[in-house]
Structure 1
Amino acid sequence: MNLNIKCMLMVTLALSTSAFAQHKTTLLSTDLENAEASSDLPVKVEHAEPLFIDLIRDLGARKGEREWNLGLGMTDNLSFDTYEALVEYEWAPINRLGLEVEFPFTFYAPGSGSQNSAIPSNRLNSIKIATQWSFLVNEKMATSMAIGYINEFELSDFKSFGSPLITGNVYNPFLVVAKRWGSQLHSLIYTGPMIAQHFETNKFHTTYDINTSFHYMIAGTRNFIGVEFNKTFDNNDFDMTIRPQMRVGVIDNLLIGIIAGIPVNRENERLSSFLRLIWEPQHKG
């Protein structure tokens, strides 16, 4: 009799746990819809943001949103290795407007068979300031569009830092179009010219980037897997890097992005990797 009671209790507990898990999954799966349908906030469509060429702020950003990013990367070049680090802060001062400040660093190490004199000098590459305005947020079509601008003040390397301090400027207007297909499939295109001005010669050099990405977001979470295709047109030259990636939530406001880089027809670059830590402080609306 005692054994039967124990068995019944175990079955009841298992069924209760299963029901609770199912209910929790149902609640999680409706988080997206509830967030977008809230009457107290402006409409915002959830989109998966690419991890390597990331956005200035979420599309349809809401006032008070903010985010810190720390990025670490490594690229295997033919004659030396490149190590990248960046610190980035982005925030939304008003609805649909995002602002960003970024400090990207590059450090170099000789590869096998190369000498220290053959590698570039370590540097704080530039100071980047950027803005992004979401001019279209269509909940019914699950589509958002934004325009933006990045201004990059290029700096001298550490060996000659301050002589001069600013060596050039990069002007980078861009357009973003994102579409969610159902609740889990996401696509995005980020495109625009990069116009580099070198102050010493006062010459300009223009390249054009087309970055496309596709992601599958795990239901009820902010985790996803996906891929970026980073394409650059430079006169008659074309380069593309394929970047498979995944994003995993550690705690509520901390995410980790892991990216691999596979170059296609790049003359001087081999495989690369990049890690992005994303911390979102509590939203102050």
Structure 2
Amino acid sequence: MNIKTSLMIGFISLSSLHIFSQNQNAIKDSLYIKEIENTKKPDKVLHAEPLYIDLIRDLGARKGEREWNLGFGITDNLNFDAYEALVEYEWAPADRLGLEVELPFTFYTPVNGNGAKPSNQLNSIKIATQWSFFVNKKIATSMAIGYINEFELSDFKNFGAPFIKGNVYNPFFVVAKRWGSNFHSLIYTGPMIEQNFKTHKFHTTYDINTSFHYMIPGTRNLIGVEFNKTFNNKDFDMTMRPQMRVGVAENLLVGIIAGIPVNRENQRFSSFLRLIWEPKHKS
């Protein structure tokens, strides 16, 4: 057997292995989608969920689904660094209905010895609900409406005086579309109406969060990006958040997010880590 023939056989073998691997991944993708969408009622479409501005529960949630999240992040500001931490529990008490409770914390450290920094705090107590009113497997599209109520708390320096200093009212709308087996897009949008109990004033901003993801063939891992956009009167801010999700165990996922502000007014780069644990489904 000459070298040319050997190289040809090797090339054919590698090509065959690549095609076989692709076919195996396609089968895995199809089986995973089938497991999510076709094995139980009501209908549900598999969508990739953004990792920073996450959903209250999967779109088309089924009764008994639940999930714990732990989040850790750091934001580089001009005069201080902000460290985020959150504990979040979400569950589906009924088909297509999701509920969530979240406790977000923020801790601050001065930059370059500058002592000017905000006081550490438990930011708020957040409770939320989400209802998937449209789920269509044929066009791989889902829609939901929801509401987040955020009881804003005083910082630790003034904790209890008062205990609740304000409230944020946040209705939102979500639409998601899967393109083929691996590409996903999602829009999450709604106003945030903040009420200050001391001054009795209201302040409204509007968020439009768009995300695009690619789910790695044959896995639950994904890569993608969020574009978090906020309209505040005549001001506009946007942060790009490239991200990835990796499965480390059957029910444990890790999300890694970077934050890149488009206009660096006060905030610079940030990073965020999300641990996602999904206990076994209780039907």
TM-score, structure 1 normalization? 0.90
Letter in 2 for 1:216: Y
Deviation readout 1:64-103 (Å, 9 max, x if unpaired): 0000000000000000000000000000001100000000
State the alpha-carbon separation in 2 of the partners of residues 179 and 195 from structure 1: 28
Judged with a 3 Å threshold, the aligned counterparts in structure 2 of structure 1 residues 238 and 220 are, in CA distance, closer, same or farther, namely: same
Determine which of 152, 155, 161 is the counterpart of 1:154: 152
The aligned residue for residue 33 of structure 2 is: 33
**Retained in 2: the 8 A contact 1:239–1:266?**
no
Deviation readout 1:163-189 (Å, 9 max, x if unpaired): 110000000000000001111010000
The aligned residue for residue 72 of structure 1 is: 72
Deviation readout 1:18-71 (Å, 9 max, x if unpaired): 999788645422223322452532111000000000000000001000000000
The aligned residue for residue 61 of structure 2 is: 61
Matches within 5 A, 1:76-91: 76-91=76-91
**Retained in 1: the 8 A contact 2:88–2:100?**
yes
Residue identity (%): 75
The aligned residue for residue 123 of structure 2 is: 125
State the alpha-carbon separation in 2 of the partners of residues 22 and 189 from structure 1: 30
**Retained in 2: the 8 A contact 1:60–1:134?**
yes
Does residue 1:283 correspond to 2:281, yes or no? Answer: yes
Q: CA deviation at 1:219?
A: 1.5
**Retained in 1: the 8 A contact 2:33–2:46?**
no
Letter in 2 for 1:190: Y
**Retained in 2: the 8 A contact 1:211–1:231?**
yes
Matches within 5 A, 1:1-285: 25=25, 27-38=27-38, 40-115=40-115, 118-285=116-283
State the alpha-carbon separation in 1 of the partners of residues 23 and 249 from structure 2: 21
Letter in 1 for 2:112: S
- Between 23-32 and 91-100, report the one with greater CA deviation: 23-32
Letter in 2 for 1:200: K
Deviation readout 1:218-252 (Å, 9 max, x if unpaired): 12211100000000000010000000000000011
The aligned residue for residue 10 of structure 1 is: none
- For the aligned residue pairs, the C-alpha RMSD in angstroms reads 1.8
Q: CA deviation at 1:190?
A: 0.3
Letter in 1 for 2:124: S
State the alpha-carbon separation in 1 of the partners of residues 268 and 174 from structure 2: 28
State the alpha-carbon separation in 2 of the partners of residues 21 and 236 from structure 1: 52
Letter in 2 for 1:129: I
State the alpha-carbon separation in 2 of the partners of residues 246 and 100 from structure 1: 23
Letter in 1 for 2:103: F
TM-score, structure 2 normalization? 0.91
Deviation readout 1:112-154 (Å, 9 max, x if unpaired): 1412xx1000000000000000000010110000000000000
